[in-house]
Amino acid sequence: MGNQLDRITHLNYSELPTGDPSGIEKDELRVGVAYFFSDEEEDLDERGQPDKYSVKGSGSPDQETPTHHLHHQLVLNETQFSAFRGQECIFSKVSSGPQAGDLSVYSVSALPALCKPGDLLELLYLGPSEQPPPHWAVYVGSGQIIHLHQGQIRQDSLYEAPAGNVGRVVNSWYRFRPLVAELVVQNACGHLGLKSDEICWTNSESFAAWCRFGKREFKAGGELQAAAGTQQQYYLKIHLAENKVHTVRFHSLEDLIREKRRIDASGKLRVIKDLAIVDGKE
């Protein structure tokens, strides 16, 4: 494992597989990493490290969360991120510091009371089985969402959507100026029914974010061409603990989102181990 990760970090960016050309999100997401480097050394003591999406302050660490009765907000132990285009912060999912936000999640049955049409939702699955990547959707009102799911843009009831049993409103995570709510819903509705090779987004997050912000960078291959002799730089900062950050560099927002989702799906403890291997600490 260590050798494999070390080999990846020494590849040229152009040699890395960065996605499925069909534009469909798959269970096995590919890495689009240019470089890894660490700001500080990591503590790899696993004692007290909850697993992915475990609930902070929920009692015994072995006690499962009864999500089917969940109506109150929960705070999860999850990997936190911020992202930059050059020096400009374009994404923030952190619970402390100047960019801090509320990362609480709620049962899907409680979400409609917190939503309005045009909102972005992130849906998560809490359960004993392996969790999929977070699923994003556009809320269009009356308990309905429009989302990219299994290679199709479709409309589903939020209460019956297979993507998750808890969720949250994530309008503020991306720092771009949003479109008015009517245009967000129009963008989502206008693509209903598209399938596989008609779709130009690689995952549910890119589609939902495009609907809200209208940025072509969210589309596969939509990155604007930089001026001659320059290349756009994106940086994903992975916040593992206070003042402990790993940074990954990309040449497109599409690849940054894909890697962020891969890390989110792998779980916080595994991320700490893998990044330690990259840094040569094991």
For 110-164, what is each residue's pLDDT tens digit? Answer: 999 999 999 999 998 877 666 778 999 999 999 999 999 989 999 999 988 777 7
Q: pTM of the predicted model, to two decimals? A: 0.72
For 155-200, what is each residue's pLDDT tens digit? Answer: 999 988 777 789 999 999 999 999 999 999 999 999 999 998 899 9
* Count of helix runs (H) and strand runs (E) in the chain: 5, 13
Residue 244: band (very low, low, confident or very high) from pLDDT cuts 50, 70, 90: confident
Which pLDDT belongs to residue 115?
94
- Is the pLDDT score of 252 beyond 70? yes
Query: What's domain 77-223+231-280's superfamily in CATH?
Result: endopeptidase domain like (from Nostoc punctiforme) (3.90.1720.10)
User: Taking the domains of the chain in order of start, what are their residue ranges?
Assistant: 77-223+231-280
**For the stretch 86-95, what's the b/e string if a residue is b when 16 or more beta carbons lie within 10 angstroms of its beta carbon?**
eeeebbbbbe
